[in-house]
Amino acid sequence: MKTGQVTPIQGVDPDPIVVRSWQRCAPRSDPRQRPRQVSLQAPSFQATLKAHADVMMLARPFLE
């Protein structure tokens, strides 16, 4: 995991979804580093909210 690569183990095939997740997370694997902040401009933020409005509406009762 330190290298972002999965070390093969004979007879074990890791789930490809898990492998891709590890690879996506590898650059931020140092817990001492500050998280990278990402800011969206207002139009992008509004477009993202609109694109996910249905999911947010369905999830809201479970989050409140």
pLDDT at position 1 over 60: no
Nearest Cα to 19, choosing from 6, 32, 30? 6
pLDDT at position 17 over 90: no
The answer to whether residue 34 is domain-embedded is no
Q: What confidence category does residue 41 fall into, taking pLDDT thresholds of 50, 70 and 90?
A: very high
Angstrom CA distances, 21 to 1, 6, 11, 39, 50, stand at 11, 11, 21, 23, 26
The answer to whether residue 56 is domain-embedded is yes
Total of domains in the chain: 1
The answer to whether residue 60 is domain-embedded is yes
Q: Which pTM was predicted?
A: 0.41
pLDDT at position 40 over 80: yes
The answer to whether residue 24 is domain-embedded is no
Cβ atoms of 47 and 25 closer than 8 Å: no
How far apart are the C-alpha atoms of 59 and 64, rounded to whole Å?
A: 9
The answer to whether residue 6 is domain-embedded is no
pLDDT at position 28 over 60: yes
Give the residue numbers spanning the domain of 61: 39-64
The answer to whether residue 9 is domain-embedded is no
The answer to whether residue 44 is domain-embedded is yes
